[in-house]
Structure 1
Amino acid sequence: MQNRITDLFNIKYPIVQGGMIWNSGWRLASAASNSGILGLIGAGSMYPDVLREHIQKCKQATDKPFGVNVPMLYPNIEEIMNIIVEEGVKIVFTSAGNPKTWTKWLQDKGITVVHVVSSVKFALKAQDAGVDAVVAEGFEAGGHNGRDETTTLTLIPMVKEHLKIPLLAAGGIATGKAMLACMVLGADGVQVGSRFVASTESSAHQAFKQVVVDAKEGDTQLTLKELAPVRLIKNKFFNDVEALYKSAPTPEQLKELLGRARAKKGMFEGDLDEGELEIGQISGLIHDIKPVAEIVKEMVEDFEMAKKEVANF
């Protein structure tokens, strides 16, 4: 399954495990890399010293390539980038910020840089900034999301029309069939998040993993657009947000309700009522919690079977 993505990251399959906050620690990233895909540590929920520990443990757990996902709006960004360089990480995915800020600095130190976007406009800005590849993430995705609500199957061909560098599709991808569909539309590979939340090695709380497995169609919704759009499972906190919206709240009132550490409370600590439960729409198609190696094996087999089925049309 060799192509521009497998060559870029030196991996067996053109699949990236998304670097999600509170879910993507060293156990998940190393298991993903050991399965032939690219594992990512999610730095967004880690203090600098915690990130260093996860990188070091990941290096001990795999001799395969892995990377770190860095949301650039987080504090301590300079310290985080320096740790990544000091620890010899060779792949960085950036998001939530201007790709020009860190791309050249990282590349000058021998690091491959990929930027996550949600629109054609920002894909082109990332390409102009010199990134090595782009992840185009559709509206279906969990967590923080694009304001334009462009779906993955619409976004990928529109981005592909303008992009020269390798392209990864993200948002609503949990099966080999979805992977094939994205690649037919122009993607060179896929980034998968929600499916790996419901894995044995995910650092998410077991109660949150079970909520993901139990989720049905329509159980997630995008909200808090005035702050930063985020897709959440509908729980008590989500309902409190919706109730506040009926009074036409100011951004300050929304921030007050949001408070601090909601995502940690929900996904990492397992508070299913008061926590943020970030997951994609594809959760309605996730029915079990299993080891990463099994998830990857099933995706690859499903992809190959789908290719044969399409060939018979």
Structure 2
Amino acid sequence: MKIEIDGLVPVMLTPFTATDSIDQDGLARLTDWYIEGGAQTLFAVCQSSEMQKLQLDERVMLARRTLEYAHGRLPVIASGHISEALDDQLTELKAMAETGVDALVLVTNRLDPNNAGFEAFRNALEAILQALPDDLPLGLYECPAPYRRLLSDDELKLCLDTGRFAVLKDVSCDLPTVARRAAMTAGTSFAIVNANAAIALAAMRAGSRGFGGVFGNFHPDLYAWLYEHKDEDTELVRDLAVFLALAGMAEGMGYPKLAKLWHLRMGTFASAHSRVVDYDPLERHWAAADLLDHIERGTERFRSRIAAA
């Protein structure tokens, strides 16, 4: 099976009830909201999903339910291996593979949990490839937790040469790195997808096949439109790129709970409960509610400008 990723790839939130169970009705509404917002692929069971705080059965259920709610409208990819020991990771990865996701995404810092370098990465990769079905497409994810483990060019080439990988969620947050990686994968079906809002437009123009940052949880339609119009040098494109970069700076104010508060406003979620953020961002971060108001007004203004364009 082949998967080609090209467009917006939201890193999915996990809605919880106030009593700390996964809110499946909220997940169904969230899935529809992403799709209506122009998502081309859904990335379930990732850091934004709070995967490090989910039990394995919850991670598996989350992937299965996302597939069910997506109902074939777009591909669903998932990660979910969080253990340090390779044998435990293989158990997690095999369980996730059995859900039927369209691609299984490997976390780079799990392939080298001690940050030992190329040989450790290669040995873990070879063991994982041998354990997983040959026809299962794979991805790579430079997840920032518990530490950000960027791929070297040699490691990226190693993965490319297997012919089994479809995507890298690039968390370098560095335009030259994105451009270099895009050049390395040019002419292939392998997609480099930037995750940083500050360089979103420039990265798209440099070869990022879409966007996979956390603010796809706030205004995915704006990122989808920007990607579609990335080659146009218009005032609207330039203004939108600046707005998205500045809005994205709110990530440090209690994300992912901040995004859940956003969805609470829209009625997607019934609760903003988070296992990762155990405080109220609106109380801890000065003027956070006012900032959300500004982001909401800015989002609506750009939607109006796009509609009129």
- The TM-score with structure 1 as length reference comes to 0.51
Find the counterpart in structure 2 of residue 190 from structure 1. Answer: 210
Question: Are 1:102 and 2:138 counterparts?
Answer: no
Report the CA distance between 1:193 and its aligned residue.
2.4
Residue 167 of structure 1, aligned match among 164, 188, 191: 191
Question: Are 1:51 and 2:45 counterparts?
Answer: no
Query: Structure 1 residues 192 and 120, CA, compared in 2 at 3 Å: closer, same or farther?
Result: same
Find the counterpart in structure 2 of residue 16 from structure 1. Answer: 9
Residue 133 of structure 1, aligned match among 166, 184, 204: 166
Q: Is the 8 A contact 2:200 2:211 kept in 1?
A: no
Q: Is the 8 A contact 1:136 1:168 kept in 2?
A: yes
Q: Is the 8 A contact 1:52 1:87 kept in 2?
A: yes
Supply the distance in 1 between the matched residues of 2:293 and 2:196 (Cα, whole angstroms).
Answer: 11
Give % identity.
12
RMSD: 4.7
- The TM-score with structure 2 as length reference comes to 0.52
Report the CA distance between 1:61 and its aligned residue.
1.4
Query: Structure 1 residues 86 and 182, CA, compared in 2 at 3 Å: closer, same or farther?
Result: same
Query: Structure 1 residues 48 and 266, CA, compared in 2 at 3 Å: closer, same or farther?
Result: closer
Q: Is the 8 A contact 1:69 1:92 kept in 2?
A: yes
SS in 1 for 2:62: helix
Supply the distance in 2 between the matched residues of 1:100 and 1:135 (Cα, whole angstroms).
Answer: 18
**Which amino acid in the other structure matches residue 112 of structure 1?**
P
Q: Is the 8 A contact 2:194 2:212 kept in 1?
A: yes
Find the counterpart in structure 1 of residue 178 from structure 2. Answer: 156
Q: Is the 8 A contact 2:178 2:206 kept in 1?
A: yes
Question: Are 1:120 and 2:153 counterparts?
Answer: yes
Report the CA distance between 1:195 and its aligned residue.
0.7
Q: Is the 8 A contact 1:126 1:134 kept in 2?
A: no
Supply the distance in 1 between the matched residues of 2:139 and 2:193 (Cα, whole angstroms).
Answer: 12
Report the CA distance between 1:115 and its aligned residue.
1.1
Find the counterpart in structure 2 of residue 181 from structure 1. Answer: 202
Find the counterpart in structure 2 of residue 89 from structure 1. Answer: 101
Give 5+ residue unaligned stretches, structure 2.
17-21, 112-120, 143-149, 221-243, 256-273, 286-290
Supply the distance in 2 between the matched residues of 1:156 and 1:92 (Cα, whole angstroms).
Answer: 22
Find the counterpart in structure 1 of residue 45 from structure 2. Answer: 42
Supply the distance in 1 between the matched residues of 2:32 and 2:127 (Cα, whole angstroms).
Answer: 28
Higher RCO (C-alpha under 8 Å, 6+ residues apart): 2
Report the CA distance between 1:155 and its aligned residue.
0.8
Supply the distance in 2 between the matched residues of 1:274 and 1:102 (Cα, whole angstroms).
Answer: 44
Supply the distance in 1 between the matched residues of 2:101 and 2:44 (Cα, whole angstroms).
Answer: 11
**Which amino acid in the other structure matches residue 157 of structure 2?**
L
Supply the distance in 2 between the matched residues of 1:286 and 1:69 (Cα, whole angstroms).
Answer: 33
Supply the distance in 2 between the matched residues of 1:104 and 1:286 (Cα, whole angstroms).
Answer: 50
**Which amino acid in the other structure matches residue 86 of structure 1?**
E
**Which amino acid in the other structure matches residue 14 of structure 1?**
G
Q: Deviations over 1:18-62 (max 9, x none)?
A: 257889994445643564410111253321111222223223312
Supply the distance in 2 between the matched residues of 1:74 and 1:274 (Cα, whole angstroms).
Answer: 35
Query: Structure 1 residues 121 and 172, CA, compared in 2 at 3 Å: closer, same or farther?
Result: same
Find the counterpart in structure 2 of residue 79 from structure 1. Answer: 91
Supply the distance in 2 between the matched residues of 1:196 and 1:169 (Cα, whole angstroms).
Answer: 13
Q: Is the 8 A contact 1:16 1:37 kept in 2?
A: yes
SS in 1 for 2:80: strand
Q: Is the 8 A contact 1:9 1:38 kept in 2?
A: no
